[in-house]
A and B are shown apart, each in its own frame.
Chain A
């Protein structure tokens, strides 16, 4: 049994699985049910001045019959009085002292407002604070959430104000609705953040009803953009986590969020530099019980690799993530088709022929049987054929021994630069 305990910026958690600040963490009843199911921690649904919500709030996209490939909401922060939330946080923490409760906070960008709420939530015994600089709808129109989170100076200043008052670790939750998330992440670090969490939801419109021409969802015939999350956003989130993890000036722990549905997704985030993860959509789809397989699966994975603690895998893939200019231009892979396994659907051929490099030939053998073969000399190793192939093991991407030494674009440009300097000297 591997050790699944983590320590995120001083917050100790029995496992890396936390519920993200969202509808599942709206009340003490829910968070206590989650802890009973095995969740290591919960980030309480964002506290602030209680708001009014609209009716009709969520929507989801199905992909080829699979429900909830992506999920969207236009719900705002808590609509319950702060006193009620604080009382329930206190009771929950008392019942589950070893589980983590982090309070998500959002107030107007004013120093006294931040000081006041920090003090009130810390008084009831939270383990940490998460500043919601990411909510992309509703609150942003009032200058909070992602409206703050998109301006690095606002992120830095508000983080600083919180740190002036906070005694517990401060996590800054970042919005992905920005060109370069490392800019705001760095601002958070400058402001004194103890950790960053990402990503919040992405601006989205889920669809249009083709009969009524209403947006999906709509509130009495009108829609507004929501926040997108769920399995579909995982690659976007994973990149943002990785970009921050490898950034030399973002040297604080990361809490990874975005489309994490099972232990494998979680392990990927940990390998890519997250110290722990937060989950919402998968729990909303299946209930809190999903955490059982997250714990069991991660544990079995670590055991099978002979790794004693989950902390040992944190960030292990970060050094392998780099810039394009650092990739070896002379590395070569080609596609190979196993004709025994191939079912002759010809999808690889048409994908290559129409949209890639025209190197998969449709041939017929002497017995009149059709088969497919890659002209390796023309194959660029793009992977497209193996991506569209519906059969496991029919197409493998094979590494070819390189005849030339590795060279990256950056090395090549440096070499060319040196060469042109030489030439300049000669002409002189």
Chain B
């Protein structure tokens, strides 16, 4: 249901390639679409939204011209609702559940959500107020979607909240990890400001374990919320990884959002390893930086890849080539710079532990693709050191929680977002992180409320 502008890439003005590609709805489009919504009771779209936004309610408010009320409805349920309006896989969530799918077309819920939140951003609205002070302090480690969401909700409930953020800006993935042409930083900054406006202190450039210790946080606060997400792309473990021209996809995308855009990719041949959403981001950013050709190498097939369908379609339209059943064997270089990548053809064998068919190398099928740049996007590593700094039980860096309470092995520490994703726990979407943050806040509140009651 996206309304995408036709992109003509420029080699002289790279910035223009990174402008948001999807234009917002016009007033008329929004009102027409809002009036098309049936305003279902106990609507399936609400049930399909991980943050349970009352979707018919916010749409009805667009129809009635109550845009502040609409934005408030959205942001109350989802503290990063403006970002989610742009990055949620709506076809699989709210719009996929819309009752109009069968009879006509689903309501453009994502675009309407963007319309209402864009209005709030443009009109500099402050939508919430801090609750009456409870005299309890909470440290939130990590200012990404989960941390912001927990902080916003805790502040609304009257807790004194401090966010400890390692980067120069809060927002996490929304600020640094999602490509600008899908999610401009200004949207993420506005969401951060909404949290800050509730007197939440956000201490940026503050890395826990380095600038402040875990013990200190535990000592000084009644509760700690660990929402540190995930780290860099892990090593491939093949030759040539140290060569110039090999990039971590997360870092690579971050650079397109923070630094002046570089000209060094113009005319270059790029190989991206992996086929998740981050791989797609690495590939489409390369195209927008002027790369001549971009190939995504994946050891399995289209069926197994984890990128959303709309991301796959988007990459194809951008001219990204996909090489299925292709695994890297070594990165080849000359004078310390990448010149090619040696790959081997794979075939799918029997299903592995995760149920997916395991790729196996086809003997003697090695071949070399000449490339200038290799971008690694094979997942993310975990901040195990920090997790252990808090002394928390984890499984390969996935912090273990009591299901439903978000409480870790240390009752004073809660965890939410990507740090608890994996090993059968949680989901990796921004919207899930937001919901977990919100629920974590409610669980903390419940804990204190029950303590007070029993006293």
Measured CB to CB, the residues of A under 8 A from B are: 66, 262-264, 286-287, 289-290, 292-293, 296-297, 300-301, 304, 391-392
Q: Residues of A contacting B41 with CB < 8 Å?
A: 287, 289
Q: Nearest chain-B residue to A300 (Cβ)?
A: B68
Compute how far the CA of A293 lies from the CA of B61 in the bound complex, rounded to whole angstroms. 6
B403 adjacent to chain A (CB < 8 Å): no
CA of A354 to CA of B231, assembled, Å? 69
- Give 17 CB contacts A-B under 8 Å: A66-B35, A263-B66, A286-B39, A286-B60, A289-B41, A290-B60, A293-B60, A293-B61, A293-B64, A293-B66, A293-B69, A296-B72, A297-B65, A300-B68, A301-B66, A391-B28, A392-B27
Q: Known pairs A296-B61, A300-B68, A304-B68. 19 more at Cβ < 8 A?
A: A66-B35, A262-B65, A263-B66, A264-B64, A264-B65, A286-B60, A287-B41, A289-B41, A289-B57, A292-B57, A296-B66, A296-B72, A297-B66, A300-B66, A300-B69, A301-B66, A391-B28, A392-B26, A392-B27
Interface residues of B (CB under 8 A from A): 26-28, 35, 39, 41, 57, 60-61, 63-66, 68-69, 72
Residues in A neighbouring B26, C-beta threshold 8 A: 392
Contacts of B66 in A (CB 8 A): 263, 293, 296-297, 300-301
Residue of A264, A289, A293 contacting most chain B CB atoms (<10 Å): A293
Is B28 a contact partner of A297 (Cβ separation < 8 A)? Answer: no
Least CB distance, B24 to chain A, in whole angstroms: 15
CB atoms of A293 and B57 under 8 A apart: yes
Bound state CA distance, A13 and B65, in angstroms?
Answer: 25
The 3 A-B pairs with the shortest beta carbon distances in the complex, nearest first, are: A297-B66, A262-B64, A296-B69
CA distance A304 to B28 in the complex (A): 22
Pick from A290, A292, A392: contact of B28, CB under 8 Å: A392
| Residue in B closest to A303 when the chains form the complex, CB atoms | B68
Q: With a CB–CB cut-off of 8 A, which chain A residues contact B60?
A: 286, 290, 293
Name the B residues within 8 Å of A301 (CB-CB). Answer: 66
Most B C-beta atoms less than 10 A away, residue of A286, A289, A297: A297
Check A297–B61 contact: CB distance below 8 A.
yes
How many angstroms between the C-alpha atoms of A293 and B64 in the bound complex?
8
List of A residues within 8 angstroms of B68 by Cβ = 300, 304
Q: Is the interface of A mostly helix, strand, loop or mixed?
A: helix
Contacts of A292 in B (CB 8 A): 57
Is there an interface contact between B64 and A263, defined as CB atoms closer than 8 Å? yes
Q: Which of B26, B28, B39, B66 has the most CB of A within 10 A?
A: B66
Q: Which residue of B lies closest to A292 (CB)?
A: B57
A220 to chain B, nearest CB (A): 32
Shortest Cβ distance from A298 into B: residue: B66
A283 to chain B, nearest CB (A): 12
Chain B CB within 10 Å, residue with most, of A66, A289, A296: A296
Q: Which residues of chain A come closer than 8 Å to B39, judged between CB atoms?
A: 286
CA distance A262 to B69 in the complex (A): 13
Chain B residue with Cβ nearest A301 = B66
- Return chain B residues, CB-CB under 8 Å to A304: 68
Which B residues touch A66, using CB under 8 A? 35
Q: In the complex, how many angstroms separate the beta carbon of A174 from the nearest chain B beta carbon? A: 28
The residue in chain A whose Cβ has the minimal distance to the Cβ of B60 is: A293
CB of B51, distance to nearest CB on chain A (Å): 19
Cα distance, A15 to B321, chains bound together (Å): 61
In the complex, residue of chain B having the shortest beta-carbon distance to the beta carbon of A285: B39
Q: Nearest chain A CB to B99's CB is how many angstroms away?
A: 15
| A264: B residues at CB distance < 8 A | 64-65
Q: Give the shortest distance, in Å, between A264 (CB) and chain B (any CB).
A: 6
Chain B residues near A391 (CB-CB < 8 A) = 28
B170 to chain A, nearest CB (A): 28
Residue of A with least CB distance to B64: A262
Q: How far is the CA of A289 from the CA of B41 in the complex (A)?
A: 9
CB distance from A197 to the nearest CB of B (A): 24
| Bound CA–CA A263/B60 (angstroms) | 12
User: Hey, which chain B residues are within 8 Å of A263, CB to CB?
Assistant: 64, 66
| Chain B, Cβ-Cβ closest to A290 | B60
CA distance A292 to B39 in the complex (A): 13
A293 to B67 Cα, complex, angstroms: 11
Give Cα A296 to B61, complex, Å.
9
B27 neighbours in A (Cβ, 8 Å): 392
B83 to chain A, nearest CB (A): 24
Report the minimal beta-carbon distance from A24 to chain B, rounded to whole angstroms.
15
Least distance between B156 CB and chain A CB atoms (Å): 16
Residue on B nearest A304 in the bound complex, by CB: B68
Q: How far is the CB of A290 from chain B (nearest CB, A)?
A: 8
Measured between alpha carbons, how far is A166 from B230 in the docked complex, in Å? 73
A286 vs B39: C-alpha distance when bound (angstroms): 7
Give Cα A394 to B69, complex, Å: 29
Q: How near does chain A come to B104, taking the closest CB pair, in angstroms?
A: 10
Give the complex CA separation of A262 and B60 in angstroms: 10
Docked CA distance A297–B27 (Å): 18
Q: Which residues of B contact A290 (CB under 8 A)?
A: 60
Chain A nearest CB from B404 CB (Å) reads 29
If the complex has contacts A262-B64, A263-B64, A264-B64, are A297 and B69 also in contact, measured as CB distance less than 8 A?
Answer: yes
B265 to chain A, nearest CB (A): 38
- In the complex, A293 Cα to B35 Cα: how many Å? 15
> Smallest CB-CB separation from A67: which chain B residue?
B38
Cα A301 to Cα B66 with chains together (Å): 8
Q: Report the separation of the CA atoms of residues A304 and B120 in the bound assembly, to the nearest whole angstrom.
A: 13
Docked pose: A262 CA to B62 CA in angstroms: 12
List residues of chain B with CB within 8 A of the CB of A296: 61, 66, 69, 72
How many Å lie between the Cα of A296 and that of B60 in the bound state? 12
Scoring A262, A300, A304 by chain B CB atoms within 10 A of each residue's CB, the highest score goes to A300
Shortest distance in angstroms between B300's beta carbon and chain A's nearest beta carbon?
A: 46
Q: What residue in chain B is nearest A296 (Cβ atoms)?
A: B69
CB distance from A340 to the nearest CB of B (A): 14
User: CA of A287 to CA of B69 in the docked complex: distance in angstroms?
Assistant: 19
Complex Cα–Cα for A65 and B249 (A): 49
Chain B residues with CB under 8 Å of A289's CB are 41, 57
Whose C-beta in chain A lies nearest to the C-beta of B26? A392
A262 contacts across to B, CB distance below 8 A:
63-65
Q: How far apart sit A66 and B27, CA to CA, in the bound complex (Å)?
A: 19
B35→A297 contact, CB < 8 A: no
Question: Within the complex, what minimum Cβ distance (angstroms) separates B118 from chain A?
Answer: 17
Q: Do B57 and A297 touch across chains, with their CB atoms under 8 A apart?
A: no
| Set of chain A residues within 8 Å of B64, measured between Cβ atoms | 262-264, 293, 297
Cα(A149)–Cα(B415), bound, Å? 68
Shortest Cβ distance from B27 into A: residue:
A392
Among B27, B35, B64, residue most surrounded by chain A Cβ atoms (within 10 Å) = B64
Tell me how far the C-beta of B287 lies from the nearest C-beta in chain A, rounded to whole angstroms. 33
* Residues of A contacting B61 in the complex (Cβ-Cβ under 8 angstroms): 293, 296-297
Query: Which residue on chain A has the smallest CB distance to residue B66?
Result: A297
CA distance A298 to B63 in the complex (A): 14
In the complex, chain B residues whose CB is within 8 Å of the CB of A297: 61, 64-66, 69
